[in-house]
Structure 1
Amino acid sequence: MKVLHVIDGLNDGGAERLLACLARSGAGVETLVASLSAPTDATASQARILQEAGLVPSYIGVGRLLERRATAAVAAAVMRSGCDVVHAHLEYSTVLAARAARRTGHPFVSTLHHTVARDSPLRERLKERWALRAAGRAGTSLFVSQASLQAAERLYGRRGADWRVIHNGVDMDGFTPPRHGRRAALPPELGVPAGAPVVAMVAALREPKGHRIAFQAWPAVRAAVPGAVLLVVGEGTEQEQLRAAAPEGVVLAGRRSDVAAILRGAVVALQTSYTEALPTALIEAAACGAAVVATDVGGTREVVQDRITGLLTPPRDARATAAAVVELLTDDPLRSALGAAGRDRVVDLFDHRSWGRRLAGLYHERAGGERHVNENDELADGVR
């Protein structure tokens, strides 16, 4: 079974990391990757993520969705690949790959990794609506959380389309707790003082990730826990603005290839997003044994159970964020208990091997093989 994964481009590492993880899942499916956009110097590091997993991306070279040749170019890439199933990721790829799969007669699956709300920009809502319509005509639409699927239902209605939930997986072999229960030493080039309580925030530097709320909360955290450091990992469109706005005790580390090592050196992981489909960064943090503070938005509740595996706070509430972080930094037994419970939960529910098996079942179903059991999945009972 060969599956061609079509992605918009090698932009921020998200899709690349997921597909690399899928390739390592041992699900018995050959993973091929095609990028709509052509490679650039800026995409070299993302291409290496795929190459390290044994994947060599191809490039279709479509610059704009409305190019006259776009669908034909994607269809040609599908035929060259020799794939059995086409799986598109994100909106632009979904629209074009759905059209191409209908033209070539290939079974089609798409995954929409974001959650679009009523107050999202009109452009984003139109992109998602367009993608869901295209996917509905061609095959199966996957959502990475119950919350994401339900949000789409509220906005657009089901209309008989084949919509399912399959939660993304994480390679737990790469995200493990520190040995002997002691937090690991952080890389020295980060400049974090030895022994400082470190809160890690791993997220692209974009407005929906809510970094400014974390920054607003940080002076109160430092007042209660002197020397505490907020270590921000990631890059993005708000990088310069956030660097200028960062209060004392915040370290912006930029893009890092050693995220697991950083999480092993942190005592708490923080997420202050305004919206989340499924927060992979929190799954990775919990797998490393870090206690979690997160805003109760989107699919976050499907990862974090309040006061069982972490602490949930209202979105855009700097005071509540500060209080939750301080509680975990100052209550060692609570922090340890939540960290241990969080790791048990994510290993049980989000391991990449079980994720790969669920996707493989769907691919075989779409290709006319054995029937796939719709997941909607074991997490559903825990979040309703």
Structure 2
Amino acid sequence: MPTDLSSRGRRPRVLHLTQPVDGGVARVVTDLVGAQLADGLDVTAACPDSALTSQLRSLGAQVRHWRATRSPGAALAREVRQLARLIDEVRPDLVHAHSAKAGLAGRLAVRGRIPTVFQPHAWSFEAVGGGTAALALRWERWAARWAARVVCVSEAERATGAHAGITGRWTVIPNGIDPERFRPAPADAVRAALAPLAGLRAQAPLAVCVGRLCRQKGQDVLLRAWDTVVRRVPDARLVLVGDGPERDRLRAAAPASVLFAGAVSDASHWYQAADLVVLPSRWEGMALAPLEAMACGRPVVVTDVDGARESLPPAFTDRCLVPPEDPGALAAAVGALLLDPTLRASLGDRGRRHVLSLHDVRHTARAVTDVYRDLLGTWPDTTEARPHRTVGGAGADRATQRAEPSEHRESIHS
């Protein structure tokens, strides 16, 4: 039974836990922390020193340094011991662990003694192969017993876990974004202010890909497709926005029509500058970049991985959804849209309305709060005297379910 915090006269003390992250996961954590602070919760984050640390402190969160690497390794036992000490010091009512590594260390440190929410943000066993994938899957099946709730960002992500034999109490909370931060703007004016586009002809068709430069995001597939795109649209240009371990290899393979913008703190200007945004991922839970692009009124082309169909309006699926690792299909979709400005404008308008309706971050924060209340009971409704913050994180529709490997599902919330 959940503990009724109202009898203690206080709101929950929540510990968010993450390994080194950037991009979408960092934004989700930042948005949740900001919303929860605005609602008067007592929020602490444990994470390695990074840009995320500074962002969380600027929101007013308490931040504890956790010396952790991005992936499991020889230091895991030390990382778990340090985390256990941090948890003893913070004494949270609930631990919310984000991504595979934090989910591994967090559940080992807590082992069910405190209500633990695990949010995979895409499954670990999809990111690796061979024996490593088998070990990751075996761990996820075992550790599900130590998660009071597994929060997935798409029904497809939940189904992937259930089909892999992971048994847990599931809540699906689709990703979403801040529609005030990501909003339409005239492309010409934005392009003029972006230094990497200096010298680019104003009317040159521009495709943009925003994401960490890594195998997951599939920029190598996009580069293989790009030669075909340029043969069809000779003056087209492609900008890769982000940094990561594949940067040098991608640069070596890129033709002159591809520009590298590097890592940016705010990608909204790049979405606004684009005619089309592309994300050719190999796996996801539900990517934020397409939602951010649509909020800026830009059409997208994405691969049909977990969460993609759920994130798009129905009108997008025939033209904007392609199989993963298929350069030919990707080139055909990108080329067709770059040549059709009328269709791009129509899809951009539909995409913006879709995001406003279903993927506003404020719904995300409320849905996560519902999960916390289900696990902890009620708490006082008095709010701290904090200014209201608009946050950006994950979407509106949600389903809370218990899933067995046999696909039996039981509704928990209406």
Relative to the length of structure 2, the TM-score reads: 0.80
What is the Cα deviation at residue 125 of structure 1? 4.5
Q: Which 5+ residue runs of structure 2 have no aligned equivalent?
A: 1-11, 380-396, 401-414
The total of aligned residue pairs comes to 363
Query: Would the alpha carbon gap of residues 171 and 124 (structure 1) be closer, same or farther in structure 2, given more than 3 Å must change?
Result: farther
What is the Cα deviation at residue 236 of structure 1? 1.0
What is the Cα deviation at residue 165 of structure 1? 1.3
Query: Would the alpha carbon gap of residues 30 and 197 (structure 1) be closer, same or farther in structure 2, given more than 3 Å must change?
Result: farther
Identify the match of residue 275 of structure 1 among 283, 298, 311.
283
Identify the match of residue 31 of structure 2 among 21, 31, 40.
21
Q: Which region of structure 1 is more displaced relative to structure 2, 25-34 or 261-270?
A: 25-34
Q: Which residue of 2 aligns with 1:197?
A: 205
Q: Provide, for residues 213-241 of structure 1, a one-character-per-residue CA deviation record: whole Å limited to 9, x for no partner.
A: 21122122222223211110111111100
Three-state SS of the structure 1 residue aligned to 2:191 is coil
Q: Which residue of 1 aligns with 2:399?
A: 376
Distance 2:273 2:213 in 1: 21
Distance 1:141 1:255 in 2: 31
Q: Which residue of 1 aligns with 2:164?
A: 155
- Paired residues for 1:135-146 under 5 Å: 135-146=144-155
Query: Would the alpha carbon gap of residues 149 and 270 (structure 1) be closer, same or farther in structure 2, given more than 3 Å must change?
Result: same
Q: Which residue of 1 aligns with 2:114?
A: 106
Identify the match of residue 100 of structure 2 among 75, 79, 91.
91
Identify the match of residue 323 of structure 1 among 311, 328, 332.
332
What is the Cα deviation at residue 52 of structure 1? 3.7
Does residue 167 of the first structure (1) align with residue 179 of the second (2)?
no
Query: Would the alpha carbon gap of residues 351 and 102 (structure 1) be closer, same or farther in structure 2, given more than 3 Å must change?
Result: same
- Paired residues for 1:68-79 under 5 Å: 68=77, 70-79=79-88
Does residue 339 of the first structure (1) align with residue 348 of the second (2)?
yes
Query: Would the alpha carbon gap of residues 297 and 82 (structure 1) be closer, same or farther in structure 2, given more than 3 Å must change?
Result: same
- What code does the residue aligned with 2:365 have? G
What is the Cα deviation at residue 339 of structure 1? 0.8
Distance 2:42 2:296 in 1: 29
Three-state SS of the structure 1 residue aligned to 2:321 is strand
- Paired residues for 1:228-377 under 5 Å: 228-305=236-313, 307-308=315-316, 311-369=320-378, 375-376=398-399
Query: Would the alpha carbon gap of residues 289 and 83 (structure 1) be closer, same or farther in structure 2, given more than 3 Å must change?
Result: same
- What code does the residue aligned with 1:8 have? Q
- What code does the residue aligned with 2:28 have? L
The structure showing larger relative contact order (alpha-carbon pairs under 8 Å, at least 6 residues apart) is 2
What is the Cα deviation at residue 280 of structure 1? 0.8
Distance 1:183 1:150 in 2: 43
Q: Provide, for residues 10-49 of structure 1, a one-character-per-residue CA deviation record: whole Å limited to 9, x for no partner.
A: x4344322111123334553432102x4x3xxx3x34333
Distance 2:68 2:339 in 1: 52
Q: Provide, for residues 265-304 of structure 1, a one-character-per-residue CA deviation record: whole Å limited to 9, x for no partner.
A: 1110001112221111111111111111111122111112
Query: Would the alpha carbon gap of residues 284 and 270 (structure 1) be closer, same or farther in structure 2, given more than 3 Å must change?
Result: same
- What code does the residue aligned with 1:149 have? R
Q: Cα RMSD over matched residues?
A: 2.6
What is the Cα deviation at residue 65 of structure 1? 7.0
- What code does the residue aligned with 1:375 have? R
Q: Which region of structure 1 is more displaced relative to structure 2, 133-142 or 317-326?
A: 133-142
Three-state SS of the structure 2 residue aligned to 1:298 is coil
What is the Cα deviation at residue 186 of structure 1? 4.9
Q: Which residue of 1 aligns with 2:216?
A: 208
8 Å CA contact retained: 1:264, 1:290:
yes
Distance 1:132 1:49 in 2: 33
Q: Which region of structure 1 is more displaced relative to structure 2, 287-296 or 219-228?
A: 219-228
What is the Cα deviation at residue 2 of structure 1? 2.4
8 Å CA contact retained: 2:99, 2:119:
yes
What is the Cα deviation at residue 66 of structure 1? 6.5
8 Å CA contact retained: 1:205, 1:234:
yes
Percent identity of paired positions between Structure 1 and Structure 2: 31
Query: Would the alpha carbon gap of residues 48 and 68 (structure 1) be closer, same or farther in structure 2, given more than 3 Å must change?
Result: closer
What is the Cα deviation at residue 128 of structure 1? 4.5
What is the Cα deviation at residue 68 of structure 1? 4.8
Distance 2:343 2:361 in 1: 28
Q: Provide, for residues 307-363 of structure 1, a one-character-per-residue CA deviation record: whole Å limited to 9, x for no partner.
A: 347611122222221221122112122111111111111222221111000001111
8 Å CA contact retained: 1:32, 1:55:
yes
- What code does the residue aligned with 2:368 have? L
8 Å CA contact retained: 1:65, 1:92:
no
Q: Which residue of 2 aligns with 1:184?
A: 190
Does residue 60 of the first structure (1) align with residue 59 of the second (2)?
no
What is the Cα deviation at residue 168 of structure 1? 2.6
- What code does the residue aligned with 2:218 have? G
Q: Which residue of 1 aligns with 2:17?
A: 6
Q: Which residue of 2 aligns with 1:31?
A: 43
Query: Would the alpha carbon gap of residues 313 and 217 (structure 1) be closer, same or farther in structure 2, given more than 3 Å must change?
Result: same
Relative to the length of structure 1, the TM-score reads: 0.86
Q: Which residue of 2 aligns with 1:381?
A: none
What is the Cα deviation at residue 149 of structure 1? 1.1
Query: Would the alpha carbon gap of residues 54 and 230 (structure 1) be closer, same or farther in structure 2, given more than 3 Å must change?
Result: farther
- What code does the residue aligned with 1:273 have? S
